[in-house]
Each structure stands twice: as C-alpha cells, then as structure tokens.
Chains A and B, each alone.
Chain A
Amino acid sequence: MFRVQTFFFGALLLLVAAGSPAVAAEKNSPFVIGYLEGDWTASEEWNRHPADMGRLPDYLPHRPFAGAEIGVDDAQYLGRGMGITYVLERRMGKTAGELLAALKGLNGEQGAKVFLVDAPQAVTAELAKLAAGMDVLLFNVSSFADSLRAEDCAGNLFHTLPNNAMLMDALVQFLVVKKWLRVLVLEGPLEEDKKMVAAFRRAAKRFGLKIVDVRSFLLTQDPRARESNRVEQLTSGDADSYDAVFVADAHGEFSYRVPYSTVLPRPVVGAHGLTPRAWHWSFLRHGAPQVNSRFERKYGRRMDDRDWAAWIAVKSVSEAVLRRKSPELAAIREHLLDQDIKLDAFKGGGYSYRPWDNQLRQPILMATDNWVAAMAPHKAYLHPESKLDTLGYDKPETQCAFN
C-alpha cells in the first residue's frame, strides 16, 4: 500500500511538473507594455533651443517613446532566460478618457498590465483615477508636476521622472553650498512658471536661501512693457543686491537671453544657465556614456530627461520580473516597493521607490549646456534614512494619501 501510494504521489508530481510550471506554459510568452501618449500642444521642455525647433521640424514630436524602446531592447536579455519577450505598444489619445479606452483595449486584447504614461499632468492624474481598481500599474514618465506626488497621487501611479520639488531642492542645495545665498527670481506668466517658483520658494525656505525679489517677465517686444521684457531692467540692482538669478520659464523662450544680459555679473540658474535635470547627454560618469551612446546611435538625437525616465521605468519592470521570477503584477508591485532594491539608474548608486508617493529616489544633475557641473544631494546634507530623501517630498511632509 505504501509503495503504491508513493508511486501514485510520484506520478502526480510528474504530471504537475509536466503540465503546469509557469516556465513551460509561458515559453516565449509576450509581456506587453503599453505606451500611452497624451496630447502635447505646448512643450514643457526646459533648455530646448528655439533654433532646434525651427531647423529640425520633427524634433518636437519626439516623445520619450525612444527611451521606452531602448528599455525594451535591454529587457529582452533579462526576459530570455524566462521565455518572456517584451513588447511595446504605443497608443495615443487627447483626453484621459481616450487613453483609458486605449489602456482597456491593450489590457483586454493583449493582457497588458504595465503602462508608461506620457501625458500632461491633468490627464495623467485623471487617468490614474479612472484606472483605479483595475489590475494595472502606471508609470508617469513625462510630468514634473508636484501635484502628482501630492494631492493627485495614486497608488497605481509610479514616477521615474523627478518632480519640481526634487529639482528645486537640488538647485538650492547647490546654491547654498556655493554660498550664493541671495537670489533674484524672474517669474514667467505661465501656470507652470508659477508652480516652479512655488517649488523654489519651498526649497529656499528649507535650506536657508534668501529670495531678494520676484519680478515677472513677459515674452513680448512691446516697448511699453520694457520693465518686464528687458533683462537689463529686470535685473537692475545695487552691486551687492543678488548673488544669482533664477529664471522660471517653462517654455524656455525667454530664458535664453538672460545669461550675459544681467546688469550685475551673476550666474543664471533655473530654466537656463545651470539647470537641474534627471539626465543629460554630457554626463560622463557611472556608465552614462554607454547608455547615451546606445541611444544616440539608434535615434540620431540626444537622450533627455523623459527618455531616461521611460528607459528606467521599463528597466524597473523587467528587473522586477527577473528578480521575482514572475510576470504577475502583484510580484512586480511588491518588488518596486521593496526598500532594499538597488535599481541601477546609471547615476552612481542603486535606487528604490518612496513608498509614500511611489516616486523613484535619485540624484539630480546640475547641467550647463554641455556639462554636468555638480550632482545633488550634496554630501553636506544628511538624512537619517537616505540622503536622496533630502530632495523632494520626504515622508513626514508628504501630502499624498493613497486610497
């Protein structure tokens, strides 16, 4: 009897082994990542040169899809051993409703559960709400908006791109370490410009920097508005009235003319001059040249912040699948929120996601037109858990509450 039982049990095991293992069943099964592209009528880009926009007519339409593609190229190697092929599907939509329909389509027809969202802040926020309750994960790869990490945050929405608060904290740390403590702020008319100034004010308060004045500029040639459209007028002041000029100019068309036009010989930071960034083509450390070179060879252009964010989002997912040995969403989510993961983001360390707002921790690069002059967090700023949490919304101050 004992023998028979053993035999039976053994046979059962064999049956199970032959029929069910996930590996066998999913041999070369596709893992579909959706790329949801919103409507970009206005560029949020900083530091993109107007001449480029004019001369390279197809420059603006370049979305970070390229970054996602490079990410998928890399991911194929990680999937190989598990019999998983990564597939990227691009869908476009003007509204959150249209993007939701695209999401549902990819989810229903191809089983896609992970989506990169390349859409403006309001659309991304609404999409995350609409998709709540669905078994999907979204990655914001395009919006720097603070609200997405605060009042509009969502448990199904991760962020690989840093938010404005992180960028401004990085910039202010840099200024304070340099002892350029009195800053003149030039504020543009756009809503984004005002949000940028708000983030800068917050950072100034945190790190002890003094904003000596906030002056509004206008993008016009009207001679009657010279007080607000001429850099010379905007930057007038006594010899020791400011140490640096911060320009908040989301569209970037005004800020180009600020360096070398200020009344006092002072550095310009913000939208032009020294700009805080998630990524820059000139970065020469931590393996960055290899990634930039792969990107440039394939696309004939330079990899920017959003390309990097899309690339690292795909990398986060493919690594989660590899490390957890499972393409299931629950396992991926668990991995992403594991505080011990060390995601290799080619910025020098291994990074994890903040569990309170799903934001990827990361250093910020301080870039000129062609050089990364410094990195933040600066070593002078300490933190009991992670120095990276000196940038942006730390746990005690988070305004994010997942439902």
Chain B
Amino acid sequence: MKRLLSFIVLFAAFAVSEETLAKGTGYLFISNEKDHTVTVLDGKTFDVVKNIQTGRRPRDMKFNADKSLLYITASADSRIDIIDVSKLEVIDYLLPGDDPELIALTGDGKLLITSNEDDNLASFVDIANNKIIAQIPTGVEPEGVTLSPDDKRVYVTAEVSQMIHVVDVESREVLADILVGSRPRRAFFTSDGKEYWVTNEISGFVSIIDTETLEVIDEVHFDPKGAPGDVTPVGIALGPDGKTAYVTLGHANRLALVDVATRKVRKYLLVGTRAWNLDFTGDGKTLYVVNSGSDDVSIVDVESEKVKKTIPVGRYPHTIKIDD
C-alpha cells in the first residue's frame, strides 16, 4: 500500500513537471501603468509571485515565439524592456523612439514594430542590433499595431486620423489608408487571414476590412442592455477556435461575444470598469479580461461563457499575458 502510494505521488510529480515543461510556468504577467511594474501571478492560486520593476508606464506586452522573453513598452521612458521569463527580471531593453505604445513581433523574433503615439510614427526595430531600421509616418496618435498572420503586412491604427494604415513589412511602403470609425484602437486577423477586425472606441463599433481589397466590408454594432456608460470598444481578440470574437466595451463594463461567421453579437458578459485588454490561456479554456478602471482582472470560463472570478491587481493594469 505504501509503495503504491509513493508510486502515485511519484507519478503525479512526474506528470506535473512534464506539464510544466511543455506549457511554461503558468504565470500571468500583468503590466501596471501607474505602478511601473509587471505583476507576476501564479496561474492557479493567483498569489503574487513577484512584482518586477520596469521602466515607467509599462503598457503593451508580447512574448517571443518560445515565450522565453517578454517585451514590454515602458512608454514614459521611451523604452521596450525585455523580461527573461525564467529569471523574472528585466535583462535588457530596446530603444524604439519616443513614447512607444503598442507592439507587434514577427514570428522569427527578429523584428519589433511599435507605434510612437506622440510622434505619429510606426518604428521598425531590429531586435538583434537594437536599432531602428525604419520609421513610417502615420496619422495622428498611432495605436494598434497588428501583423498579418504571414508577417508580410502590418496594420497600424491612427486614433485621431480615424484610419488604418496598411504597411508592407519588407518594402515599408504604405499600401493603403483606410477610413474607419472614430478612434480606432486594437485589432485581430481572422484565422484564414482574410479579414481584419478593428475596434472604434468613440464610434462604438467594430469595422471589418477585407485584407485583399483593403476595403471596409462590414461593421459590428453593440447594444448591451443596462450598460452604465457609453459603448467604447477597445480590446478585441479572436477566440482559440477562431469562431468567436471577444470585444471589451470599455465604459459599458461588458465583454461582447461575437460570432465571426455571421458577425452577430451572441452574448454580453458583465466585467469590471473600463475593461480593455484580454488574453487566453494556451488551452483556450480561460480568458482573462483586464479592467483598468477597477484595478482588477476578470476570469472568464470560455466553455460556459461565465465570469468565474475577479482578482485584484496593481494600479491601472494595462495588458495581461500568460506563460503556459
């Protein structure tokens, strides 16, 4: 009996370590704009593992392909800090021009593209040499930077100019300026790469652009009942199965679930105040929504489509990334 028990314990321990190896630490990384830290939480207990000091005003974050490094825009210091995920320390930084806001990384980990909000530029940074190799003039207050699935084009939103600039990554030419709604923010590409969905914060809808014709082909509108404030969509992510789009509605304190095929809203979930960014666990079972107005994170069970729990984090949380 004793031997059997120890065998089970041993087996369980083996299974856990196997899982850890395959899926990373399971840690949640949350950037806190006003604390100048990235909070690392245990993915199961939600206990704080560490608060990592970063440059000032940490905002967007992106992992490299194998999730060994985490890139963070430290906007107020005009830096992109690099966290070593195994050490949980800032080990280096890039200089991407003034006030970087959002970032995109190519799959090969060689190129980082960021929006320089105050300078109306999109900067291309050669990561290996820590060098800006190109700066593309954009409209006023560039924000969202999204690479097409094949990394050939980057789409940059310009908040004040209300446009999406489509830039060829290799030639760095602007292929199109596409007029959308008021204050375009963040975006994703559908799994087949044929559609680009972007939130328009002030207009309150999502614009859908055909990536071949580079024209707006449709809009998704929202009408949640009993919302405390205006519908101001900012965050947007494609669900793991590619069938549902998840859109945070900002002051409406709602998360909208949109059917990608029919472009119709299926459901609204109540989340925290000024809900913006969101990310999924690798298994696609859990969705985390960052509520920057209530300094917390809502945890959504993807299958049952229910908010399970809300966990407090630092001041003005911006982005969440999951290492699993």
Contact = CB atoms under 8 A, between A and B. Distances in A.
Interface of A: 73-74, 77-78, 80-81, 287, 290, 293-294, 297, 319, 322, 342-344, 348-350, 379
B117 A80 contact: no
Contacts of B204: 342, 350
B118 A77 contact: no
A80 B177 contact: yes
Given A74-B140, A350-B203, A350-B204, A290 B118 contact: yes
B149 to A, nearest CB: 27
A131 to B, nearest CB: 30
Contacts, number: 53
B161 A293 contact: no
Contacts of B141: 287, 290
Contacts of B182: 342-344, 350
A77 B230 contact: no
Interface in B216-258: 228, 230, 232, 251
Contacts of B203: 342, 350
B136 interface: no
A344 B118 contact: no
Given A81-B177, A342-B204, A74 B230 contact: no
B202 A78 contact: no
A78 B162 contact: yes
B161 to A, nearest CB: 4
Contacts of B163: 77, 81
A344 B202 contact: yes
B75 to A, nearest CB: 11
17 contacts: A77-B140, A77-B158, A77-B160, A77-B163, A78-B161, A290-B117, A290-B141, A293-B118, A342-B182, A344-B162, A348-B230, A348-B232, A349-B202, A350-B182, A350-B202, A350-B204, A350-B230
B159 interface: yes
Given A294-B118, A350-B203, A74 B177 contact: no
B161 A77 contact: yes
B139 interface: yes
A322 B179 contact: yes
The 6 closest A-B pairs by CB, nearest first: A77-B161, A77-B139, A344-B202, A350-B202, A344-B182, A74-B140
B233 to A, nearest CB: 12
B183 interface: yes
